[in-house]
Amino acid sequence: MNMNINMKMKAAVVVFPDSNGDRDAKRAIETLGIPVRFVWHKESSIEDFDLIVLPGGFTFGDYLRTGAIARYSPVMEEVVRQAKRGAKVLGICNGFQILTEAGLLPGVLLRNRGLLFLGRDVWLRVENNATPFTSAYAQHQVIRLPIAHGDGNYYIDDEGYKRLEGEGRIVFRYCLPNGVAPNGVAPNGVAPNGVAPNGIAPNGAKGDVAGIVNEEGNVLGLMPHPERLVEPILGGQDGRGVFESLLNAVCGRVN
Amino acid sequence: MPYQAKVTVMFRKSILDPQGAAVERALKAHSEGIDISSVRVGKVIELMVDGPGPDIVEEKVKVLADRILANPVMEEYTVQVESLS
Amino acid sequence: MNVWKEHGLTEEEYTQIKALMQREPNYLELSLFGVMWSEHCSYKNSKAQLRKFPVTGPQVVQGPGENAGVVRLDGKLCAAFKMESHNHPSAIEPYQGAATGVGGIIRDIFAMGARPVASLDSLRFGSLDDARTKGLFRGVVAGVGGYGNCIGIPTVGGETFFHPSYHGNPLVNALCVGLVEEDKIFKGQATGVGNIVMLVGARTGRDGIKGASFASEELSDSDPDKRPNVQVGDPFMEKLLLEASLEVLEAGLVVGLQDLGAAGLTSSGSEMAGRAGSGLYIDLEKVPLREKNMEPWEIMLSESQERMLMIVEPSKVEAIEKVFDKWDLIASAVGEVTGDGHFTVRRGGEVLASVPAEFLTDKAPVNLRPAAEPEYFRALKKADCSQLRDWKNWTDLLKKLLASPNIASKRWVYEQYDSTIGTNTVVRPGSDAAVLRLSGSSGSPGSVKGMALAVDCNSRYTYLDPWRGGAIAVAEAARNVAVSGARPLAITNCLNFGNPEKPEIYWQFVQATDGMAAACSALSTPVTGGNVSFYNEYDGRAIYPTPTIGMIGVLENVEDRVTSDFKAEGDWVVLLGETLEELGASEAHFLLTGRDEGEVPFLDFEKEKKLHAFLVEAARNRFLASAHDCSDGGLAVALAECAIANAMPSPFKGTSLKGTLGVTLDWRGSVSPAAALFGESQSRAVISVSPGKWEAAKALLKKHNLPATLLGKTGGDAFSLRYNGALLVDCPLSHLARLWNDAIPEIME
C-alpha cells in the first residue's frame, strides 16, 4: 500500500466529553497510513477534511438521550457544513445516535429490546457495497463485528423504512453466520419466510437494520464497531473494509 | 418572577416501551383485585426559571423541550409552569 | 450516648486518643479519628497479619501502601493494578454500590499516573433461586457494566459464584489495571511546604457520610437508617476527571495525587501528609459544596464520588485551572502543604481541628485478635462421598453440573460489559484469563508483550480449610494466567471475611492469609496491595471466608496467547498433572448432597510450579492449540468447557449457532470413575496439541518431568468419555452447549 498517497487523505476524529472510542478510531485509521487529527467538540471552525468520524462513547453521559446534547456542540455545525460539501461522515455507535439527533440521518436509536447493554460479536450482511464506506466488501458479504451498546434498537416509521429500503440506504443488516437475513432478501433472491418474524437483531432493530446512509450516500451511521476489528490479533479484521473503502473513495484505488 | 417548570417526556404511543412493559409485568405479579395495563415509563425534568410571566415561561420552555429535552421522532412532552412567588 | 461511640470508637481507643493529643479532642477531631481508625481505613485488625505477605521481587516497582501496586512488564512499561471491595454498599443498592466500586478502583489507578486499560470483577451472591438475590445479581452486573461501559474501560474478565453463605451480603470486588512508564508513576504524597492543595472534580455533598465506619459493621434487615450512605456514581464526570488528570500529569503540573475514597477529604488529606511526613491544612470555605449548610464534619467525611486531591506548586495553579476548565470541571485551591506535621481543618482564619497526621494514619491501634479453631473445621473433614462415588448416570450428572449456575456459562454477565473497547483485548471474557496487548490504542506502541489477568477464589475450599483454600486461591489464579501462556508475576487481593471480633472468624482470616503467603512465596508472586473487608455478615451469619486473588502475568509475545477452546479436528487431548482419589469439597458432591464437606484437594507447590513452567514454555514455542485449567467440576466439566466454549446462543431459542468441537476420549487410570471425572485434584490442566506439534510437546513434557495422560482426539459432534474400558459419558455436544448457555438467562428472564 502506498503510504504517501494515503497521507493525502485528511481524517478527523471528533472528541466530545465522554467520547471513548476516539483513540480506537484514530488507531484503526492510522493502520492504513492515514493521518488523523483529534478535533475537540468546542472547535467551531475546522479545516476541510475528507473524513470526519463521530466515535463511540457516552457523550455527556447520555443522561438525557443518547447523542441529544452532543448534537448541539459547536463542532456539529462544521460537521453539517462539511457533509453538505461532500466530506464523508462516519458515525459509529454513539456517533450514529448523534447523527440521528442532528437530523443528518433519519430515525432514532431506542433502548435495546431486552433492556440490557449488549457487548458481543454480531454477523452483518453488506446490503449495499456501492457506497464509499463498503466498496471494499463484496455485495452480500457476511462480516463479523463487535457491538457494545444499550441503545441500538433502530426505529423509523414504516414509510421511512420503505424509503430506506427502496433507495438502497440500508447498508448493513444483522444476519446469521451463514448470511441468512430474515428481514432482507436472501442472496438467492428468496426471503426465508417465517424464520424469525421479529427479526434477529439482538437489540430489536427494525428490519434488522445495523447501518444506514443518508440520501447523498456520504454519511454513514452504524451501531457495530468496525474500528475494533482491523487487526488479526484482536480476533479478525472484518472492520478494515470500511476504512479501505473510504481510502479508495477519497484517493482512488491505490492497491 | 420565579417559576418552576416541569417537563414530562413520554414515548409516543406508537413506540414500543420495553421499560414500561417490564414494569407492567412486575406490577401485575404484585397486584391483586385491580387490573394494571398500559404502563409507560417516561421522565420528568424540573427546572427553576426566572421570567416575566407564566405564558412566556411556558412558551420558552416548550421551545427547549422541542429542541433538546424530547426527540419528536419518538417522544412527546407536556409542560407545566407553577409560580413560586 | 458516649461521645466515642457516636464516632464508632471504643472507650480504650478514646483514652488512647486523649493520651496522644494530651488534651480533650473536639467533636470534629473525634470524627477524624473515628473514620481513620475504622477497620476500613486503618486495617487495625488485619495489619499484623498482612505483614506476613511477601511484598518484594525484581518485578515489583511499588508494593503495598500506595493507591495501587505496580509491576514491571516491558522495559519501562509498568502495570498499576489493585482490587477493592464494595460489598456493603452493593447489598443496600446493588446498581450504585457496584458502579461506585468500579469508579473508586479506577481512580486509584489513574491516581498513580496510569491510564486504566481494563477491569475485572469478582462477584458472589446467595442462591439464585431467591428473588431478592436475583435482584442483587441483576443490579450489580448492570452497575459494573453501567460504570465501566460509560467511562470506556473494558471489563475483560471475572468470576461469578453463587452460594447460600452470601445471602444478604453479596461480594462485589473490582480490579482495575492501568499502564504507566516507570518514571511517570505518581505518588499520593503532599511534599513541598507552601505547595497548594487542590480539590478537583465533583462538588462535595452529603454522600456516603461515614461509609468507612459503615463498612466496618455487620448488616441486618433492620437498618433503614444506613440507607442514606449510598453514593451515586457519575461515570461521565469520572471520564472527564480521568482525561483532565492525565493531561495535567502529562504536562508536569502536579507534585502529588490521591483519589478521594472512603472517609473522603479526611483520609486523602491525612494520608498524603502522613506519607510525605509533612503537614497540610484544608480551608472548608474553599471547598465547592453541592448542598447548603453542611457541617464541618460532614464536609470532611463526605464520600461524594469523582473527586481527587492534587498537590501543586503555586506557579502552576493557573495552568491546572485552565485544563480543568477545558473539561468543564472545577479545580479549587482548598489548602496548603505545611511543615508542622499536622492535618489541620480551617474555616477561613479559624482553626477547627488540628491533629498530627501520623496520629490518624499510623497510630491507630494494631489489634491482635484472639483466634480459635471453629468446631466445624475437624467435623467436616470427614465426609461421606459414597453418593458421588457410587453414582450411575455420569452423563446426567455432567448435564446437571453444566446447567448449575456456578458452572454454567457467564455470558449473561459479561455480555453486559463492553470488553473490546480500547483495542487492547486479545483474549476476551470466557477463557481462563483475560489477555491484553500492551500496544493497543491506550497502550504503548512498539511493545510486543502482553499481560494476562485473572481473579479467583474457591470459597468452599477456604471455608473447609482456610489455609489450603488460601493457598489454592493463589495457585489457581496463577494457573489461570499460566494456561493463557503468561508467566505469573504478582497479586492484589480482596480479603472478604466476617466479623473479626469473633475468634472463629479471626482464625479463618489468619489461616487463609498464612496459606496465601506461603503460596505467594512458593510461586514467586508477591503481594502488591489489596484491601480487607471484614464484617461481611447478614443477621449474624458470616459469609464463607473469601480471599479473592487478582493475578497479573506477562507474555513475552502477545501472539503466544492460548485460549481454552479446542481449535481443530484431530488434535490430541492431554491431561497434565496427577489425578488423586479426591471427591471431598467438590462442586459435584455439593450438587448431589447440598453439603460443603470433605477434605480440600491437596496442593503441592512444586508440582504447581512445574505445571506453570511447562505451560509458559509450551505457549512460547506455540505447541498448544488450547489449554484450560481443570478446577471446579473436575475433568469432565473442563473437557466440556473446552468443547463448547465458543457455542454462541442462536437468536432462535433452543439452538446453538456454532462453535463447538467434540471429543472422543478413552483413557485409563487408577482412581474411581467419580474421581476421574469430577474430582478436583489440583495442579492439572487440559491441553490440546496438533499432531504435527505432538512430538515436540512430548519432549517438553519430559524435560519438565511433568506427568501427563493422553486422553484421545478432538473431532465430531459427540462428547464421549471412556474410562478404563467403560463408556461413562456420551451425549451430543449441542445438548450440553444448550444447557450450559441457557441456564442463567432462563433463571434471569
Q: What is the pLDDT of residues C290-312, one digit of tens each?
A: 888 888 998 999 988 899 999 99
Domain ranges (residues) in chain B: 2-15+41-83
Instruction: Tell whether C441 is within 8 A of chain A (Cβ).
Output: yes
A231 and C423 in contact by Cβ < 8 A? yes
Closest in C417, C650, C658 to A119, CB measured? C417
Instruction: Tell whether C651 is within 8 A of chain A (Cβ).
Output: yes
Indicate the pLDDT class of residue A19, thresholds 50, 70 and 90: very high
Cell of C114: 496510569
The pLDDT tens digits of the residues spanning C98-135 come to 999 999 999 999 999 999 999 999 999 999 999 899 99
* Cα C345–chain centre separation: 35
Of the candidates A45, A37, A55, the residue with the CA atom closest to the CA atom of residue A75: A45
**% of chain C surpassing 70 pLDDT:** 96
Cell of C545: 471466608
With contact defined as 3+ CB pairs under 8 Å, the chains touching B are A
Q: Taking a C-beta distance cutoff of 8 angstroms, is the pair C255, C311 a contact?
A: yes
Q: How far is C599 from chain A (nearest CA, A)?
A: 40
pLDDT at residue A186 is higher than 50: no
pLDDT at residue C333 is higher than 80: yes
Instruction: Tell whether B74 is within 8 A of chain A (Cβ).
Output: yes
Q: Which residue is closest to B45 within chain A, CA to CA?
A: A64
For C677-688, what is the mean pLDDT? 98
Torsion from C-alpha of C614, C616, C621, C624, nearest 10 degrees: 80
For C171-188, what is the mean pLDDT? 95
Indicate the pLDDT class of residue C649, thresholds 50, 70 and 90: confident
Domain that holds residue A216: 3-251
Residue of A78, A101, A127, A227 with catalytic role: A227
The pLDDT tens digits of the residues spanning C474-513 come to 999 999 999 999 999 999 999 999 999 999 999 999 999 9
Determine whether domain C51-182+418-560 maps to CATH 3.30.1330.10.
Answer: yes
Within 8 A of A112 by CB-CB distance, chain B residues are 18
The pLDDT tens digits of the residues spanning B12-43 come to 887 777 788 878 887 887 888 899 988 888 99
CATH value at residue A73: 3.40.50.880
Highest-pLDDT range among C92-101, C130-139, C462-471: C462-471
Lowest mean pLDDT among A13-17, C83-87, C227-231: C227-231
Q: What CATH topology corresponds to B2-15+41-83?
A: Mth169; Chain: A , (3.30.1280)
Instruction: Name residue C345's beta-bridge partners.
Output: C282, C353
Domain ranges (residues) in chain C: 1-37+186-364, 51-182+418-560, 368-408+562-749
d(CA C712, CA C722): 10
Burial C679-708, CB ≥16 within 10 A → b, else e: bbbbbbbbbbbbeebeeebbebbeebebbb
Number of folded domains that form chain A: 1
- Structure ipTM: 0.94
Closest in B14, B16, B71 to A65, CB measured? B71
Greatest alpha-carbon span in chain C: 87
- 3-state SS, C687-701, equals EEECHHHHHHHHHHH
**C1-37+186-364 and C51-182+418-560, same CATH topology:** no
Q: What CATH topology corresponds to C1-37+186-364?
A: Phosphoribosyl-aminoimidazole Synthetase; Chain A, domain 2 (3.90.650)
Which amino acid, C524?
Answer: S
Residue carrying C-alpha cell 447493554: A117
**Test the A interface: residue of C238, C241, C421, C439 with most A CBs within 10 Å:** C421
Indicate the pLDDT class of residue C226, thresholds 50, 70 and 90: very low
Matching CATH number, C368-408+562-749, of 3.90.650.10, 3.30.450.20, 3.40.190.10, 3.60.10.10: 3.90.650.10
Q: Taking a C-beta distance cutoff of 8 angstroms, is the pair C302, C207 a contact?
A: yes
The Cα angle at residue B80 between residues B78 and B85, in degrees rounded to 5: 165
Q: How far is B73 from chain A (nearest CA, A)?
A: 7
For A206-219, what is the mean pLDDT? 96
d(CA C718, CA C429): 25
Closest in B15, B68, B69 to A155, CB measured? B15
The pLDDT tens digits of the residues spanning A92-149 come to 999 999 999 999 999 999 999 889 999 999 999 999 999 999 999 999 999 999 999 9
Residue of A41, A78, A93, A127 with catalytic role: A93
Cell of C477: 489464579
